[in-house]
Amino acid sequence: MLTKSVIENILSTALINGGDFAEVFVEDKITNSINLVNGKIDSANTGIDYGIGIRVIKDTNEIYVYTNNDEKDNLLKLAKKAASMFEKIDKDSISLSYGDYKNIHPVKIYPAKVNQSEKVILIKKAYQAADEYDKLITQVVVGLSDYTQNVQIANSNGVFIEDERTRVRMGIHAIATHKGEKQTGYLGPGAHMGYEYFDQINVKNLAEEASRMAVTMINAGFAPQGKMPVIIDNKFGGVIFHEACGHGLEATSVAKDNSVFAGKMGEKIASDIVTAVDDGTIPNAWGSQNFDDEGHKTQRNTLIKDGILKSYMVDFLNGRRLNMKSTGSGRRQSYRYAPTSRMTNTFIESGSLSREEIIRQTENGLYAKQMGGGSVNPATGEFNFNVREGYLIENGEIKKPVRGATLIGKGADILKKIDLVGNNLGVAEGMCGSISGNVPAGVGQPTLRVSELTVGGRGENS
C-alpha cells in the first residue's frame, strides 16, 4: 500500500493542470480458488492482485490511468500524464485526513488462516452430498473461492479511507444425464465474511438442492410458449428486478438519458404494492461494503416507494451530471476500472401473501422456482432471463416441471404488472457485469406474481 504523503503527492500532481477532482484507488488483494471435478481436486490457484488507479475529473470529463508499478516516480509520471489532458492552472496542495471507520462486516476466520486441505474437506462435503443424491447425477463440479481485498481510497476533497473486504463463495454445479441429454442444477452461496460462513449454512443441503434441480429438470418437458402469468419465487428470483429495473435506475444510464426511467423522479413507475431498496449496509451480506469504491459510506437507498420512483443509484461523476448527491453506489471490479454507479444488495420488500396463497390465486401460468441469469438493454428496458427450474400451474396448483423457459419483456411494463407480492423476502448472491467490471451483488424479493410475461419455450403453444 502507499503512504499518505505519496498519495497526497499524486493527488496534487494530478490536479496540476487544472482538473477539479482527483482520486487514488490502491488495491492489494489475495485471491484463492479451488475446483473439484470428477470427485477430485482438479485445480487450485492462489494469487496477488495489486495495482493503483488514478482518476482525474474536470467538469464531467474523466481521465483514468492505472498501473501495477507502485514506485513513486512511476506514479507521479502517470499522474502528470493524466493531468496533461487538461489545460494548466494553479492549484493548492492537498492534505488528507483519515475518515472515521467502523467495520460493520466483521470477519472471524480469515481465508488466509485456513489451510488448503481444510477447504478441500468443505468442497468434498458438497461433492459427496450432490453425487449421492441420485443415480442420474453424472458429474458434479464444485468451486470454492475467497479473497481479502485491501483498499486505500483518497481524493482531492480530503477523503482518505482504508478498508478491507473479505468474501467467500462456493459454487455447486450438478449435472444429470439421461438418454444422451444433460441438465444442470446450480447454487452459489456466498457472503462478505470469512470461513465462519460455512458454519452458518448447510453445505450438504445446498448440494442436494443443486442435484435435485438437475434431476427434476432432466425429467421435465419443455416449457410452453406465449404470454401468461408468471410467479417468480423469492431469493434469486430478485434477478428480475435487478435486470429489468435496477440497471435502468443506475445513474450510469440515467445521466446520459439512456434509461427508460430517466426524468421520472417522483412519478409512478410501478404498481402500488412495489417498494424496492438497494442496501449496501446489511452486515456481512454478499453485496455489502463499508464504503463504496469512491470512499463514500454505503447507504440504504429506497428506490421505489409504493410504486413511486424515489431515488436513483448515484456515483460521484454521474451525480455531477445529474446534480445529485452520491448514494454510496460507486463501485468497480478492481483498480483496472474507473468506478461508476452500481447496485449492492437490491430487493423488493415483502408484502402480505404467502407463497401458497399466490399459487392458489393463479389459475394457469408458470411458476419459476429458480431463476438463472439475465441481461437488459437499459435504453429500451428490454430484458431477458432464464428459468433454471420451472413448473406449470394449473387450477391453482403446481403441476409438472418444465425446462428451457426464457422470460422476456420490458422493465417499465413488468413493474406495473406485478400484481401479487409475498411475505417471504430472501436475498441471494450473484455477480453483476457492467462497464466497471464484475462486482458481487445481492438480489432478492419475496415470491411475487407478474400478471403477464412472454415465456419462450419449446413446448406446445399455450
Partner 1 sequence: MNKEKFMQVLLNKAKESNFKDSEVYLNQSENFEIRLYKGKVDYYEENEEYGIAFRGKDKKMGYSYTEKLDEDIIDVLLNNAKNNAQIMEEDEEEIVGQNDNYEKLKKLTGIYDYNREEKIELLKEIEKNIYKLDEKIKNINYCIYADEKTGERIINSKGLQLNYENDIGYIYISVVAEDKGEVHTAAHYQLFRELNEVNAVDFAKKVVNDAVKKFNSEPVKSGSYKILLKNEVVIDLLSTFSSTFSAENVQKGLSLFKDKLNQNVANSIVNIIDDPFYEKGYRRTPFDSEGAASKYKEVIKDGKLMTYLHNYKTAKKSDVETTGNAYRGSHKSRISISPTNMYIKRGNLSFKELVEKVENGLIIDEVQGLHSGANPVSGDFSLSARGFLIEDKEIKKSVEQITISGNFIQLLKDIMLIGNDFKMGLPGSGHFGSASVVVESLDVSGL
C-alpha cell at 331: 463501485
| 149 touching partner 1, by CB under 8 A | no
Q: Which is nearer to partner 1, 3 or 116 (by Cβ)?
A: 116
| 457 touching partner 1, by CB under 8 A | yes
Q: Which is nearer to partner 1, 177 or 302 (by Cβ)?
A: 177
| 61 touching partner 1, by CB under 8 A | yes
Q: Which is nearer to partner 1, 18 or 372 (by Cβ)?
A: 372
| 263 touching partner 1, by CB under 8 A | no
The phi-psi region of residue 437 (left if phi > 0; otherwise alpha if psi is between -120 and 50; otherwise beta) is: left
Q: Which is nearer to partner 1, 47 or 158 (by Cβ)?
A: 47
CB 275, min distance to partner 1, A = 26
203-211, 268-276, 384-392, 438-446 -> range binding partner 1 (CB under 8 A): 384-392
| 421 touching partner 1, by CB under 8 A | no
Please report, as a single letter, which amino acid is at residue 89. I
DSSP secondary structure, 363-422, as one string:
SEEEEEEEEEEEEEETTTTEEEEEEEEEEEEETTEEEEEEE-EEEEEEHHHHHHHEEEEB
CB 253, min distance to partner 1, A = 8
| 42 touching partner 1, by CB under 8 A | yes
Please report, as a single letter, which amino acid is at residue 68. N
| 3 touching partner 1, by CB under 8 A | no
CB 356, min distance to partner 1, A = 28
Q: Which is nearer to partner 1, 224 or 287 (by Cβ)?
A: 224
| 63 touching partner 1, by CB under 8 A | yes
Interface with partner 1 (CB under 8 A), residue from 150, 219, 258, 423 = 258
CB 27, min distance to partner 1, A = 9
Interface with partner 1 (CB under 8 A), residue from 111, 246, 280, 374 = 374
Cell 394457469, residue located: 364
The phi-psi region of residue 266 (left if phi > 0; otherwise alpha if psi is between -120 and 50; otherwise beta) is: left
| 361 touching partner 1, by CB under 8 A | no
DSSP secondary structure, 325-336, as one string:
---S-EE-SSTT
Give me the 266-305 binding string for partner 1, x by CB under 8 A, dash otherwise.
----------------------------------------
Contacts (CB under 8 A) with partner 1, residues 299-358: 336, 338
- Among 170, 172, 169, smallest CA distance to 211 is for 172
> What's the full length of the chain, in residues?
462
Cell 488528507, residue located: 96
Please report, as a single letter, which amino acid is at residue 285. A
Q: Give Cα separations from 90 to 11, 15, 73, 138, 392 (angstroms).
A: 14, 9, 22, 68, 68
- Among 105, 83, 23, 57, smallest CA distance to 332 is for 23
CB 151, min distance to partner 1, A = 15
Who contacts 305 (Cβ-Cβ below 8 Å, separation ≥6)?
Answer: 275
Secondary structure class of 74 (helix, strand, coil): helix
| 382 touching partner 1, by CB under 8 A | yes
| 116 touching partner 1, by CB under 8 A | yes
Task: Count interface residues toward partner 1 (CB under 8 A).
Answer: 82
CA distance 9 to 12: 5
Interface with partner 1 (CB under 8 A), residue from 221, 404, 419, 451 = 404
Rg of the chain (C-alpha set)? 24
| 257 touching partner 1, by CB under 8 A | yes
Interface with partner 1 (CB under 8 A), residue from 3, 5, 72, 85 = 85
Q: Which is nearer to partner 1, 223 or 393 (by Cβ)?
A: 223
CA distance 10 to 23: 9
164-172, 264-272, 307-315, 373-381 -> range binding partner 1 (CB under 8 A): 373-381
- Among 325, 304, 298, smallest CA distance to 314 is for 325
C-alpha cell at 129: 452430498
Q: Which is nearer to partner 1, 351 or 457 (by Cβ)?
A: 457
CA distance 45 to 116: 10
C-alpha cell at 17: 493542470
Interface with partner 1 (CB under 8 A), residue from 4, 18, 20, 50 = 50
CB 303, min distance to partner 1, A = 21
93-101, 280-288, 323-331, 399-407 -> range binding partner 1 (CB under 8 A): 399-407
| 452 touching partner 1, by CB under 8 A | no
